[in-house]
Each structure stands twice: as C-alpha cells, then as structure tokens.
Amino acid sequence: MNASFRFLFRIFYTFDASEFNKVPKNGPLLLLANHTSVFDGPLLYAFMQPSNVLAMAKKELWDKWFTRMVMTAWNSIPVDRDNMSRETMETCFKVLKDNKILAMAPEGTRNKEGSLQEGKAGVAFIAYKAQVPLIPVITLGFNELKENAKKMRRTPLLIKVGPPFEIVQKSGRMDATTRGELNEEIMLRLAALLPEDKKGFYTGKEKEYTLTSDITIN
C-alpha cells in the first residue's frame, strides 16, 4: 500500500522527501504535524518508511470501507476530536511505551488554506505525561493541487522538519496555567517552521522557549 501511495504522490506532486530523514526511525517520539489536507497522514506513512510510526486519525475515517481498510493497514488510532477518550489516551501512551513514533495533528482539524490554528490542549497533556522527545513537521502546498491540475502540472510541496525538543519539567504537578503555556510553546515551535503568512493563530506570538529545550537524538 505504501508503494502505491508513493507512486501517486510522485505523479501529482514534487517534493524533497529526504527531509523526513531528520526524523528518527524509532521512538519513543511524539511527532507533531500541521494539518492542511487529508493527504498529510498518507504522506508521512508512505515516505517515513521503514519506521515505527502510528498516527491518530478522526474516527469517522472508519465509517467508509476504503478509508477503514487504509487506516487498519496503517494501525492508525481512531480518535474523537471533540472528546478524546481514556481508552484513546491509554493507546497513545502504549505506542510510546513500545518505543514507537506517535504522530498527531495538535490543531485537531485541518485548515485547507494552510494557516496554523490554535492547538488543542491534549497535546501538552500527552507530551508532559509521556516525557518523550517531540519533533515538529510541517507540509504545505496540498491546497494548490486543483489549480495546478487544471494546468496539467505537478504541485510543489514544502516539507520541513524542525529540531527535536523535550519538556523541561520532568515531574511533579503541572497546573492548568502552565499546561496552557506549554501548549502554546509547543505550537510556536511548529509555527516557527512556517512562512509568516501561514503562522495563523500564532502570528506575532514568537517568544523565548522556557518550558521546552532543544535536544539531540541519536
């Protein structure tokens, strides 16, 4: 299946997949990605191989036979975007405990224009609770497919992988205020990879990182 998706991506898009080489092949690792298209996830699965990556995906994708088949083949994790269940949380932590890569879109839903939306609170909770390295990844360009297809040309995609980082606080209780600040800082690391006109909710909110710090992953 991955080979088929790689073939289709190469037909319709131009991009440098070598950027994904910056992502370790194994976890535990929390991969944070912006969400602009239904093809974000398939791009990761198809070109981050071989790697132990599992992604969270909206539960509605299991309602139709084809997308259910694809999600099952990739061992994706169904999630209710409005109310993440305890069972889903436990599955996420198990993925990380098994030294795999958990990919998630902290915005919760896609923005077809490519502008970054406010991150959901769950990302900070999972990041702090799991205490694993995090790495930001952005892709841009999917929204240009229709226009370029009319002109019979492939659509260029931008792929960028940022430096891995970790949560500074290692233990103890994290109150709601600090968790909110952590959530914003995590999202700002994602926004830092985007052009100024795509930073969206985080435009003009650059700040010094105090709750997270860069790390090196071998």
Chain mean pLDDT for the chain: 90
CATH number at residue 35: 3.40.1130.10
To 10 degrees, the CA torsion angle through 198, 201, 207, 208? -80
pLDDT in tens, 37-68: 888 889 998 898 777 899 888 888 899 989 89
Chain segment 83-118, per-residue pLDDT in tens: 778 888 899 999 999 999 999 999 888 887 889 999
Asked if 159 and 138 touch (Cβ cutoff 8 Å), the reply is yes
Question: How far apart are alpha carbons 128 and 25 in whole angstroms?
Answer: 22
Helix 40-47 vs helix 2-12: crossing angle, to nearest 10? 120
The helix/strand/coil state of 62 is: helix
Residue 191: C-alpha distances to residues 10, 36, 132 (Å): 27, 14, 20
Structural domains counted in the chain: 1
> Which residue do the tokens 């131009």 mark?
14
Asked if 134 and 214 touch (Cβ cutoff 8 Å), the reply is: no
Residue 199 lies in domain: 2-214
How does residue 1 score in pLDDT terms, banded at 50, 70 and 90?
confident
